[in-house]
Chains A and B, each alone.
Chain A
Amino acid sequence: MGLKKLADKVAEYQQRLAAGQAKKIEPELVEHVLDKLRRKEADLLADLASETDDAEREEVEHKLKVAREHIERAEWLQRELA
């Protein structure tokens, strides 16, 4: 989900960058955020493995889904900015 919306946001960001109204996002910064996101994904997976309550597991799964969406977006952005 959402890569089309992300592409629109990136296009808008590029316009602001060209007009000097935004700061350049360096690939190293994306890598740094990706590292954080992957660590968070690992934490959520550990929570999921240790959770026995079904309702709690379901909540963690929702969080995990969003974490993976963020990772997918960051990887796409990394390729775009490379």
Chain B
Amino acid sequence: MFMLPELIIVLTAFVVLLLDLFFAEEQKKILPVLALIGVLIAMGNVIFWMPEQGVVFGGRFVFDSLGAWFKLIFLAASGATILLSWDRLVGKVSDAGSRLEHPGEFYSILLFTLSGMMFLISARDLVTLYVSLELATIPLFVLVAWKRENAFSGEAGLKYVILGILSSAVLIYGLGILYALGGSMVLEEIGKNLSPSPAFWLATALIVAGIGFKLALVPFHMWAADVYQGAPTPITAHLSVASKSAGLALMFLLFFRVLGPAVSEWNGFLAILATITMTLGNGVAIVQQNIKRFMAFSSISQAGYLIMGFIGPFPEGMPAMIFYLLAYLFTNLLVFAVIVFYANETGAEAISDYRGLSRTNPLMALAMMIGLFSLAGIPPLSGFVGKFFLFSVASKAGLHWLVAVAAVNSTVSLYYYLRIVRQMYIEPAEENAVRLPVSPVLASTVGLTLLGTVLVGILPGFYENIAQSVAAAEWWSIGR
């Protein structure tokens, strides 16, 4: 039964939703525990099935080792989001503005979007693909607007809905043309029937625009900053990691399984997209004052690095991309864990508010510094190793200028990541600054993600394991 992980997640979501109905306020504190247990069981299940391949519903749903890696990333990111939002939902925060209400609904919606992402990577036909994509995105609109009494959150929710629907419309237009051209719903069949023609290029352009919105690639990134700033901070973390991974999964399915055989040469186009995305993301991040907007632009530039994995002789870039995704998952969540901790206690979101954090909470400041260094790509942290593999993909494809641009961008990014480190370590703390209490849940989240950030870079097994999974996965579009 290869659909068991998804079923466990959906079942957990229903259990959490129903128990919320019967629980008193005090008892609702165990809802996050239940949600987390569901995610952990599903993770164990995915790891258990990983070496195998399976087909459910006559090929509509396929489980393979490559999809299993994506599923693990979705599960880990959602598990971390549950941990990050824990204190806010049970009311253990000093800053009243950070509180979130309705824990039962919050966790069930979070788990539903997770199940959509997991169905997405296993989908093998257009209908399942599109429906699971919507199941992954529509719950996010609700989560972004969760603090509706906050003007920023409401505005972010509205912007996200309108632009999300627009991008879905653009995407489904492209998929519709693909169906008309390919004459089938099954991705494999469409891929075989396609040949380059004006209609095909129109479909490709629409699909790239749709995916670009989901992934916040420049020039489709306009929504990112406002949505990231307005959303509750744990959801911002979820958007920047889980939602981005789902966008990559979608891009991966459509590019390699459908468009791949027909497009002989897209390296140049992807290289340009990656270049403008990372350069603009970096350039705008430098001047940001709000830490969430800052992380929005940082994640845009990270998406620029990530799509470098699609470059080069297929499927050599894939292991590098998934590895970087894994490193980015831990690293970005580590930084967000500290941001959530600081916002929970003080409600502060400006970068200048972080001054003197190393005096009051030295361990948290250290964790944040390690996370930022890993995002910038300082050895031996996982961010460096991931970038190394991604850059070597571009180098193998002969795009040396792209490697140079990416390296320059990494250096520029170090400058703005160091801005926060400077606030924490060099600027003096305020006179009456006291040590902020760290809740056990957030402390363990920081510990776990820190462990991941360091270990993924040092332990050699990860990359080889991912590369084996990619090699073992079944490929229809080998002819590329």
Bound pair (A, B): no
Q: Which A residues have a C-beta under 8 Å from some C-beta of B?
A: none
